[in-house]
Chain A
Amino acid sequence: MKPKPFTYLRPADINEALQALARIGEDARILAGGQSLLPMMNFRLAQARALIDISRLAPLAYIRKTAGEIEIGAATTQAQLLAWPQLGDATPLLSAALPHVGHFQTRSRGTVCGSIAHSDPASELPLCLATLEGKVVLRSSKGERVLPAAEFQTGMLATARRPDEVVVAVRFPERKQGAGYAFMEMAQRHGDFAICAVAAVVSGKTTRLGVGGVADKPTVREWSGLPNGELDDALNDFAWELGGTDDHHATAAYRRELVRRLGRRAIEEAAKCSS
């Protein structure tokens, strides 16, 4: 339960980090909070020749409101976002989801961008990003590109990030006027990985539901003008299409049932908060 040997790099700014990444390539990993990467390295499920530590880069630790979006820098911890006074007003979904992310003692170091870069299919933050149609800002020594969540998230622990790129920020859309939001999950203990997590947005006649923990990545479905009597059928179809599998936490059938029940509850809760 110890990581394999690696070289530790602590760049003085983001440009040094990008240069090091361009030089070392796939054998290097970015270390921010380390709350996903280090367990994987302790288990030797992940290996690196070099870790590039960006956790001390103060210019990357920010939460900024810009043109209808909340941008969060790569060194911002989950605890810092949770403590941001405007969080509930700006993004009610994140405000509801963040307390489920890990524990008090891991949110203190785990970063928002790191969780999204890690892309665990059961993680809450990638699910929120997908449901809200957020964006990921990727930077390399050659330039910057911005990918929508749906293009960034490609599968289980897999993203469209290229080996020379750093996730420097993520952008969540600000709450939509009149929309209602809800987040719910089922886990064995509070803070454990979700067996199934759901994020709902209800806005006028449009209902969006994101589901995590079932498919290999967060999956979102949108219905428009769905009569209330047809919601159960729609959820049932969605549950089957997600193609969950049995594992030692839960069976596929149990996961489908969670999509149907938690999904309905979250949609009803979001509808209550909408106007």
Chain B
Amino acid sequence: MLELKEGVRHPVDFILNGKPARGLAEPRMLLSDFLRQELGCAEIHVGCEHGVCGACTVLIDGIPARSCLTLAVQTAGRTVETVRSLAAEDGALSDLQEAFRRHHALQCGYCTPGILMSAEQFLRERADPSEQEVREMLSGHICRCTGYVGIVEAILETARSRAGAR
């Protein structure tokens, strides 16, 4: 049985945005803090720290998860994707990110990295979502700027344009 003692920093090896990464974490360290403080991922936005606001959502093994409700040590051997994985190497935004810009789907941008990760995985699973389905998915995120209208439109437009490209 693997036993990681309290108060001791243990190495955690995992894949971060497609590349091997390593950091040190006490068992009690949350993945959100680990990514920000150990690995410098400033794109992880920490809001409520109890799983309600959705700002810190990342993909773990391709599935959306709250990084504040995941222990860093739990991600050993797993893959973690943050919003940095969406844009191209040269910084060109993804189609979803472009749609967010076009529809003014963000203002302060604090909730955006989490929403983009949820939406990206949601669109991989559902090629032709209804507005209702998009809104239900978004119920796991809190945005206090936009009123969600632009976010819903951006996601639906991306779904349509991806369907057209297939």
Contact = CB atoms under 8 A, between A and B. Distances in A.
B150 interface: no
B94 to A, nearest CB: 19
Nearest to A5: B6
A190 interface: yes
Nearest to A38: B69
Contact of A34 (B1, B4, B70): B70
Contact of A105 (B28, B73, B118): B118
B13 interface: no
Nearest to B10: A8
A2 B33 CA distance: 10
Interface string B28-64: 1010010000000000000001110010010000011
Classify chain B's interface size: 35 or more
A221 to B, nearest CB: 30
B66 to A, nearest CB: 6
Given A7-B27, A12-B1, A105-B64, A1 B140 contact: no
Q: B interface, by DSSP: helix, strand, loop or mixed? A: mixed
Nearest to B50: A39
B51 A108 contact: no
B1 A9 contact: yes
A42 interface: yes
B49 A42 contact: yes
Given A8-B73, A39-B51, A42-B68, A190 B2 contact: no
Contacts of B27: 5-8, 51
Given A3-B28, A5-B28, A108-B65, A20 B1 contact: yes
17 contacts: A1-B49, A5-B26, A6-B27, A7-B4, A8-B3, A8-B27, A10-B1, A20-B1, A38-B51, A38-B70, A42-B49, A49-B6, A103-B140, A104-B122, A105-B140, A190-B135, A191-B139
* Pairs A-B, 5 closest by C-beta atoms: A103-B140, A8-B27, A39-B50, A1-B49, A10-B2
Interface of B: 1-7, 26-28, 30, 33, 49-51, 54, 57, 63-66, 68-71, 73-74, 118, 122, 135-137, 139-141
